[in-house]
Chain A
Amino acid sequence: MTCLPAPFPGQKKLGLVIDLDTCVGCHACAVNCKEWNASGHSGPLSDFEAKSDGVWFNRVHTYEAGEGEASRTVHFPRSCLHCEEPACVTVCPTGASYKRAEDGIVLVNADTCIGCKLCSWACPYGAREFDEDDGVMKKCTLCVDKIYNENLPEEDRQPACVATCPASARHFGDLGDPNSKVSKLVAERGGYDLMPEMGYKPVNKYLPPRPKKTGASCGSKASEEFSLIDLAERRAAKDEIAVKTGAEPTLAKADGKGAAFLRWADRVLSR
């Protein structure tokens, strides 16, 4: 049914928290998600020719924000945000798109979907993709077939993308419970909604990149501010002078055991 479930106090809102500070853009989450869902209720997620342009539930973008040294390169995984007021559910003409009352997960029933694509038009986040091979719409299931699966050991009952992230940049939990690990993380780090002006009230939150450490906090004198580029240039200048005067280069000199090897290594590396 495409009527949204009526909200009630203490309602479970399962979702993800994505840490943009620690994400390294490895795409492991995207690949693991694709593999997990290649079989099962949403499968197969067919790709065409050699282009891998089939359905992927999770995609990792990379953005640049700002200019020069203050700019940030941010890796940005994008998948369904399991919104509280998802228009993708209300526009569906068949009821194939629905939001579960018990945990808030938004799903597509691939057996009743007619593939009209209207839900993908309604989603601002591109969470839903049309599977050309299957003729139906598919999307992130929050691994509903994994998180409740009693055939798996408890520690494995989490979404594939969360389990696989090598940087621990993805967190799963109940964002409707203010005492859950994910809710505390959101409160601590200032987790935010994407495109809040759309009014869909996404449940997934994104943690902003932390401020960069300046030169002052890198161990130098507080009054001295410099950039790493300045440092590299100064070191290069020092080396030039060293070569001209025959003094030792700035690389640390080792004495005793291994010193000869280090000097050889230094020579080879200095070419």
Chain B
Amino acid sequence: MHPAFSVILFTTASGAGYGLLLWFALCSLAAPDWIDRPLALTTLLFGLALVSAGLGSSTLHLGRPERAWRALSQWRTSWLSREGVAAIAAYVPAGLLALAWIVWPRPGGVAILPALLMIPAALATTYCTAMIYASLKTVRQWRNRFTVPNYYALGLFTGALLFAAILRLFGRETVAVDIAVLVVGAATLALKLAYWRSIEGRGASTAESATGLGGFGTVRLFEAPHTEENYLMREMGFSIARKHAAKLRRLCLAALFGAPLLLTLIALLAGGWIAGFAAVLAVISAGAGVLVERWLFFAEATHVVTLFYGARAA
């Protein structure tokens, strides 16, 4: 599948943003005295900026972005519509949290309900985003039991890395958060590896099942319907060679997991300004890594329409 940058940015930014907002909400419920106004507003600002940038980026993928508001109407059947509704709904608890921290230096009880609502809002929106892909029968690499867990894990992991970095910039002690980063990071790594293992092999649909001509023998495309590319081939025919994918997977493992986890460990052990530096570096590395991860999520996906264009199985 063609990796559109606008969609890659959308899913990674909104995943990280909702992850960050979710960690903040958890933190403000578990340890409310730990947070002060500058920290809260910075975190909420980053979170809201990321989810807004994501939503904005997603409209760049549309042929008619001026009609994007229509996408909220079909939540009964469409995961894309549900994601739009959930994203807009998630602005409510996030906005209320921000408002509470703007109005009061320590909102206390006022912030409890918005924080409580923030958690399911973030989880629901991330779920809907993941289901846009996981619900498609035509792309077997997406219709996979690891797709939704991967979206959750990556959102929580990148969000946690961001939270740890912000905390350090405000001079807070972050042992609990660092441990959370390491644990979530390890789980995310395990899920990612499991996902890559699960997409090996060939699909169940073949050129024979697509054309129904298998009774005569092996089906080969003799002549494509057009000598030049068309939309279908540009959008669904994009594929990456195995050896290039392998290189990018290694890059992803290093940038998204290797470096950030190592840097988090260093931060945990070193403390002081080294920790702050390491935490920011971890965020930058993970940011690059998650873009590669999402690019591969698209590039390694095969669509069954390619069976009509010469693919043997998909």
Contact = CB atoms under 8 A, between A and B. Distances in A.
Interface stretch (B17-25, B194-202, B208-216): B208-216
A91 B71 CA distance: 11
A58 to B, nearest CB: 9
27 contacts: A30-B225, A53-B228, A53-B230, A63-B219, A63-B222, A64-B220, A65-B211, A65-B218, A65-B219, A66-B218, A91-B79, A91-B135, A91-B136, A92-B78, A93-B72, A93-B78, A93-B81, A112-B70, A114-B64, A118-B78, A118-B80, A118-B132, A121-B235, A122-B136, A124-B205, A129-B232, A135-B64
Interface in A1-38: 1-3, 20, 25, 27, 30
Interface in B52-88: 61-65, 67-68, 70-74, 76-81, 84
Given A63-B207, A63-B213, A118-B132, 9 more contacts: A70-B217, A74-B213, A94-B70, A121-B236, A123-B305, A124-B210, A126-B232, A130-B231, A192-B212
Given A61-B308, A195-B304, A53 B213 contact: no
Interface in A149-190: none
B204 interface: yes
Interface string B275-314: 0000000000000000000000000000111011100000
A54 to B, nearest CB: 8
Contacts of B303: 121
A53 B227 CA distance: 9
A206 B137 contact: no
Contact of A63 (B76, B211, B304): B211
Interface SS majority for chain A: loop
B300 to A, nearest CB: 15
5 cross-chain pairs, A with B, having the tightest CB-CB distances, nearest first:
A115-B63, A66-B217, A135-B63, A65-B216, A59-B225
Contacts of A118: 78, 80, 132
Nearest to A125: B305
A2 B77 contact: yes
Nearest to A120: B235
A87 B63 contact: no
A209 B138 contact: no
Contacts of B67: 94, 112-114
A255 interface: no
A132 B232 CA distance: 12
A146 interface: no
B33 interface: no
A62 interface: yes
Contacts of B229: 53
Chain B interface bracket (under 10, 10 to 19, 20 to 34, 35 or more): 35 or more
B211 A194 contact: yes
B138 A198 contact: yes
A198 B307 CA distance: 13
Given A113-B64, A130-B63, A1 B74 contact: yes
B301 to A, nearest CB: 10
Contact of A72 (B64, B78, B216, B308): B216
Contact of A123 (B132, B138, B219, B228): B138
Contacts of A72: 213, 216
A199 B137 contact: yes
Interface in B114-137: 132, 135-137
B230 A61 contact: no
Nearest to A60: B225
Interface of B: 1, 61-65, 67-68, 70-74, 76-81, 84, 132, 135-139, 204-205, 207, 209-226, 228-232, 235-236, 303-305, 307-309
Contacts of B64: 113-115, 135-136
Contact of A115 (B62, B78, B207, B304): B62
Contacts of B235: 117, 120-121, 130
A51 B307 CA distance: 23
A208 B212 contact: yes
A67 B217 contact: yes
Contact of B137 (A70, A87, A117, A125): A87
A92 B135 CA distance: 13
A245 interface: no
Given A87-B136, A115-B63, A117-B61, A197 B209 contact: yes
Given A116-B62, A129-B231, A64 B78 contact: no
Interface string A99-127: 00000000000001111111011111110
B77 A124 contact: no
Contact of B74 (A78, A94, A126, A136): A94
Nearest to B307: A195
A80 interface: no
A73 B138 contact: no
A134 B64 CA distance: 8
B305 A197 contact: no
B78 A121 contact: no
B223 A61 contact: yes
Contacts of B137: 87, 122, 124, 198-199
A64 B209 contact: no
A135 B66 CA distance: 11
Contacts of B221: 61-63
A196 B219 contact: no
Contacts of B216: 65-66, 70-72, 74, 209
Interface string A70-88: 1111101010000000010
